[in-house]
């Protein structure tokens, strides 16, 4: 991913939870906070309540793939944390991708000139 890296530290996660804004839909919760850098940092979380290791890994991969394929339409300088909800365990790629874009719009983090073709 050219413009992004992953969010790693526990303290960074807590910072986003505490100070960022959040929106929710059926499959996930998304927290967003400006990080004053020129790249985005993406963190993905899935608790053990969601499922076993296979399920949690799969969720992370689907989110990462969805983000990667749409990386160029997002605004920069954001810390993004995606938390899995229980129904995400059985979701396929299309559902995860749709959910990610839906929440992105609610956060107004999609570049303006992409709005038309994505709607």
Rounded to whole angstroms, the Cα distance separating 24 from 9 reads 23
**Chain length of the chain:** 119
**Cβ–Cβ < 8 Å for 66, 100:** yes
Provide the mask over 26-65, with x wherever binding to RNA is found by CB under 7 A and - wherever it is not.
--------------------------xxx--xx-xxx--x
Q: Segment near RNA (CB under 7 A), from 5-13, 20-28, 75-83, 104-112?
A: 5-13
**Cβ–Cβ < 8 Å for 103, 36:** no
Q: Interface with RNA by CB under 7 A: which residues?
A: 1, 6-8, 10, 52-54, 57-58, 60-62, 65, 68-69, 92-94
């Amino acid at each position: 991913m050219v413009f992004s890296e992953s969010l790693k530290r526990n303290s960074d996660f807590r910072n986003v939870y505490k100070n960022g804004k959040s929106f929710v839909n059926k499959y996930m919760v998304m927290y967003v906070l400006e990080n004053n850098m020129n790249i985005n940092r993406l963190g993905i979380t899935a608790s053990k309540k969601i499922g076993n290791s296979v399920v949690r890994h799969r969720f992370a991969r689907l989110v990462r793939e969805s983000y990667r394929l749409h990386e160029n339409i997002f605004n920069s300088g954001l810390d993004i944390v995606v938390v899995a909800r229980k129904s995400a365990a059985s979701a396929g790629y299309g559902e995860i991708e749709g959910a990610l874009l839906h929440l992105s719009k609610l956060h107004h983090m999609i570049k303006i000139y992409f709005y038309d073709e994505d709607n």
